[in-house]
Structure 1
Amino acid sequence: MSNILDYETVALVDDDDAIEIIDQTLLPGKTEMIRLHTAQEIWDAIYLLQVRGAPAIGVTAGFGIYLLMKHSKAENYNEFIGELKEKSDYLNSSRPTAVNLSWALKRMQNHIFEFCNIKALEDGSVCLDSAKEYDLKGMICEMRDESERIKAEDIDVCRRIGEYGLTLIKDGYGLLTHCNAGQLATCKYGTATAPMYLAHEKGMNIKVYCDETRPLLQGARLTAYELHSAGIDTTLLCDNMSASLMKSGAINAIFVGCDRVAANGDAANKIGTSVVATVAKRYNIPFYVCAPTSTIDINTPTGEEINIEQRKPEEVTEMWYKERMAPEGIKVYNPAFDVTDNELIAGIVTEYGVLGAPYKEAIADLFNKIQKK
């Protein structure tokens, strides 16, 4: 079996004006690299989960907005900024829950504003009084460099999350994870899987259990695939088997990723995560959320304000089945994510360390420290 770590999840192919990704909808049966050239192709790839995972989506957004602006014909700042906003808004509409998407697009815009001495005003407008002389070529070069920095930082952040997460693991541990917060969701190591990969590198004896993660089966198709191909002792289970497994004593800790963390520590992750957290609390198993600070949204007070994406009913009624497995006309409830209450979380593992309760204060302190650097 080929090692999935040998492939780049997201890569910029500048000479072809393209983003190259692994088409994750075809895994594990087929590993196929595809190239995205147009705004529609990038939007579709994010929406259809050909590229997925909050960090990988953020990297794709950074590359995407650079490529879409690369051949801009804008002749002045007003035209350039208007085009940048239009294209950013379009890409941002592809998935509403993963904060890295809007974060990366906003970062790309802010970098250009800083490079050009453009001041963003509170009402959303801009002040050009102190702006540099208009330099389209220079701005495009800056966008390319910034998009590459987003990717490089993602790799570094995941490695650091792995190192902090590793301090929570002992030799012989059984670990449970839900959905895919692995390399396929990032550019390397993953978030929730980063401690597992580092433990494996160090020769630690760990066993990893993967929930299949209905209805899109990211745990079965992606996490189980990448961990197994990397040589980690991996076991797959149906989502509704996790309580039985936890009760058996096989699980010592749980690591999951997330798509958005609210300012109070509530965490939105793939649907079913809150069930795992609730059961873990019952059996006194520590439940850790692995979250790059780019995933923490300090402007969202609690999980109640997180916009939860609703998916098509066909994902439940007929996807993966040879024949439809539900009656015609049946109503379907299919949210892509749920929110885990902060009181169920034993720690939030970031690239700066492991945050503990009370999370509102811990998150605020962390961001204050980052801003002072």
Structure 2
Amino acid sequence: MEYQTLHWKGDATGSLCMIDQTLLPTEFKEIDCWTVEGVWEAIKMLRVRGAPAIGVAAAYGVVVGTRELREASRQDFNKKLTEVVKYLASSRPTAVNLFWALDRMSALALKESSLASLAMHDRLLEEARRIHVQDREMCAAIGRHGSELLKSGTGVLTHCNAGGLATGGDGTALSVMFAAAAAGKSIRVYADETRPLLQGARLTAWELQQRGIPVTVICDNMAAQVMKEDRIHAVVTGADRIAANGDAANKIGTYGVALLAKAHGIPFYVAAPSSTFDLSLSTGDKIPIEQRSREEVAEGFGRQTVPEGVDVYNPAFDVTPADLITAIITERGVVQRPNRELIAAHLAEDAIA
């Protein structure tokens, strides 16, 4: 089955169309976002998720949010643009790609200050499409570099979903597996279910099944046993933000998986585009961690599982220290044993390799 996680439909006055990922795997449905409020809600409620895809959606969200001012004065257009960017930035705090994409759209508007509103809006759509295409190309490059780290016969564990559903292309972590399979390597993927919203069970398993790659879903608390049984030979995850020293934030539970991999002598790889690095943060301690609602844990998928009146703590992400990361895979190549100096040199390179 061929699918696009999200795409722009129509001309500059069109809409952002995306898969509603909250309905997978039992229902495949696309939704149209005609308003910036619709884009914000889709990001907040995880209808679209994964750091790269959030960035692409936000870029298109700027186009949606300023569409009604195509005939307005440039002053009014700029005012609305500022409001839209600020609003979209409030949807989710951890994924740095969201802010990277919004900053890029704002910078374009500042650079093209002489354009009339209509022409400026057209340019914003062009830029959003460029961000989307670049993300697709970055995914392919990550896959090429990462697949070289996997041998045929490898059992790979992944946590959460870092596939095509999380990006504008083939994904980050899953692009490594897709590329390995395309190269003729035999691999088996173990997907943590990823509580509390089961992105691994619902989304990762669905994507791998669509591509014909053998996948086995395990509960999050089974990873240690599966590693002990020598079924897993590598771990590959995505990331939502990476600090200057290589500390990486990803879906809650990733830190625990990294500790288990270390204990069992299994390499732990992080796959992410260079836009995921936030060099303004010296360490992962400074990465903001999104806190989500009690209901996601206490009433998961509509059924109460926690007594009323009992507190729930629900951080959406955790941070894996760089010393637990074997390598970071980006579109530029592989950073082995990442640290501040190696990352700075890696990001100084100019082009996708």
Of the candidates 76, 80, 86, which is equivalent to residue 79 of structure 1? Answer: 76
C-alpha distance in 2 between matches for 1:141 and 1:13: 14
Equivalent residue for 2:10? 14
1:277-288 correspondence runs (5 A): 277-288=258-269
Q: How far does the alpha carbon of each residue in 1:120-155 deviate from its partner, in whole angstroms, 9 at most, with x for none?
A: xxxxxxxxxxxx3x4222211211110000000011
Q: What's the CA shift for 1:356? A: 2.2
Q: What's the CA shift for 1:370? A: 3.4
Letter in 2 for 1:63: Y
Letter in 2 for 1:142: R
Structure 2 CA distance for partners of 1:22 and 1:75, relative to 1, 3 Å: closer
The number of residues matched between the two structures is: 350
C-alpha distance in 2 between matches for 1:200 and 1:368: 31
Letter in 2 for 1:11: H
Gaps of 5+ in 2: none
Residues 71 and 118 of structure 2 are in contact (CA less than 8 Å); yes or no, is this contact kept in structure 1? no
1:218-233 correspondence runs (5 A): 218-233=199-214
User: Is 1:103 the counterpart of 2:100 in the alignment?
Assistant: yes
Q: What's the CA shift for 1:74? A: 7.2
C-alpha distance in 2 between matches for 1:202 and 1:264: 33
C-alpha distance in 1 between matches for 2:173 and 2:261: 16
Structure 2 CA distance for partners of 1:329 and 1:286, relative to 1, 3 Å: same
TM-score, normalised by the number of residues in structure 2:
0.96
TM-score, normalised by the number of residues in structure 1:
0.91
C-alpha distance in 2 between matches for 1:197 and 1:367: 25
Gaps of 5+ in 1: 117-131
Q: How far does the alpha carbon of each residue in 1:49-68 deviate from its partner, in whole angstroms, 9 at most, with x for none?
A: 00001111111111110121
Q: How far does the alpha carbon of each residue in 1:79-100 deviate from its partner, in whole angstroms, 9 at most, with x for none?
A: 3322211110101100000011
Of the candidates 89, 92, 102, which is equivalent to residue 86 of structure 2? Answer: 89
Equivalent residue for 1:120? none
Q: How far does the alpha carbon of each residue in 1:21-53 deviate from its partner, in whole angstroms, 9 at most, with x for none?
A: 000000000000110111211111000000001
Equivalent residue for 2:313? 333
Q: What's the CA shift for 1:211? A: 0.1
Q: What's the CA shift for 1:76? A: 4.6
Could you say what secondary structure the match of 1:11 adopts? Answer: strand
C-alpha distance in 2 between matches for 1:225 and 1:75: 45
1:194-233 correspondence runs (5 A): 194-233=175-214
Q: What's the CA shift for 1:358? A: 4.4
Equivalent residue for 2:348? 368
C-alpha distance in 1 between matches for 2:73 and 2:337: 49
Q: What's the CA shift for 1:8? A: 0.6
C-alpha distance in 1 between matches for 2:233 and 2:147: 13
C-alpha distance in 1 between matches for 2:339 and 2:139: 21
CA RMSD, 1 decimal:
1.4
Residues 192 and 219 of structure 2 are in contact (CA less than 8 Å); yes or no, is this contact kept in structure 1? yes
Which one is further off, 362-371 or 263-272?
362-371
1:210-289 correspondence runs (5 A): 210-289=191-270
C-alpha distance in 1 between matches for 2:258 and 2:272: 16
Of the candidates 114, 119, 135, which is equivalent to residue 154 of structure 1? Answer: 135
Letter in 1 for 2:51: A
- Percent of pairs with identical residues: 48
C-alpha distance in 1 between matches for 2:142 and 2:307: 44
